[in-house]
Amino acid sequence: MASSSSNSPCAACKFLRRKCQPECVFAPYFPPDQPQKFANVHKVFGASNVTKLLNELHPHQREDAVNSLAYEADMRLRDPVYGCVGVISLLQHQLRQLQMDLTCAKSELSKYQNLQGITSHGLIAAAAAAAASHHSNNILNNQYNFLSSSRERERDINLISSTTTGIGIGTGGGGGGRGSADQYNSISHHQFFPRDQQQQQMIRTFDQAAAGNINYDASSLLAMNVSAGIPFQQPRAAAGDDRRTIDPS
Amino acid sequence: MASSSSYSSSCNSPCAACKFLRRKCMPDCVFAPYFPPEEPHKFANVHKIFGASNVSKLLNEVLPHQREDAVNSLAYEAEARIKDPVYGCVGAISVLQRQVLRLQKELDATNADLLRYAGASCNRGTGRGSHHGQNSGLYSFSSPWSSSHDPYGDHRN
A195 falls within a domain: no
Question: Could you tell me if B61 lies within 8 Å of chain A, comparing CB atoms?
Answer: yes
Looking at residue A76, its pLDDT comes to 97
CB contact under 8 A, B114 and A200: no
Q: How many structural domains are present in chain A? A: 2
Burial class (CB in 10 A: 0-12, 13-18, 19+), B105: exposed
Q: How many structural domains are present in chain B? A: 2
B148 falls within a domain: no
Q: How far is B121 from chain A (nearest CA, A)?
A: 9
- Residues B20, B79, single domain; the answer is yes
A132 falls within a domain: yes
Q: Among the three residues B65, B83, B101, which one is the final residue of a domain in this structure? A: B83
Whole-number Å distance between alpha carbons of B70 and A231: 18
**pTM (2 decimals)?**
0.61
Q: How far is B84 from chain A (nearest CA, A)?
A: 7
B150 falls within a domain: no
Whole-number Å distance between alpha carbons of A242 and A162: 12
Q: How far is A185 from chain B (nearest CA, A)?
A: 9
Residue in A46, A113, A200 closest to B54 by CB? A46
Q: What is the domain range of residue A51?
A: 11-78
- Residues B43, B92, single domain; the answer is no
Question: Could you tell me if B107 lies within 8 Å of chain A, comparing CB atoms?
Answer: yes
Give Dmax (Cα) for chain A.
Answer: 101
Q: What is the domain range of residue B106?
A: 86-121
Residue in B83, B90, B144 closest to A228 by CB? B83
A178 falls within a domain: no
- Residues B57, B91, single domain; the answer is no
CB neighbours of A23 closer than 8 A, spacing ≥ 6?
A: none
- Residues A17, A67, single domain; the answer is yes
- pLDDT per residue, tens digit, chain A (249 aa), is 444 445 789 999 999 999 999 999 999 999 999 999 999 999 999 999 999 999 999 999 999 999 999 999 999 999 999 999 999 999 999 999 999 999 999 999 998 888 777 666 666 666 666 555 555 445 444 443 333 444 444 444 343 344 333 333 333 333 333 433 334 333 444 444 444 455 555 555 455 544 444 433 334 343 444 334 444 444 444 444 444 443 444
Whole-number Å distance between alpha carbons of A189 and A85: 10
Chain B residues lying within 8 Å of A192, measured CB to CB: 69, 72-73
B77 falls within a domain: yes
- Residues A64, A15, single domain; the answer is yes
Residue in B73, B137, B139 closest to A81 by CB? B73
Residue in B80, B141, B144 closest to A203 by CB? B144
Above 90 in pLDDT, residue B36? yes
Q: Among the three residues A78, A103, A128, which one is the final residue of a domain in this structure? A: A78
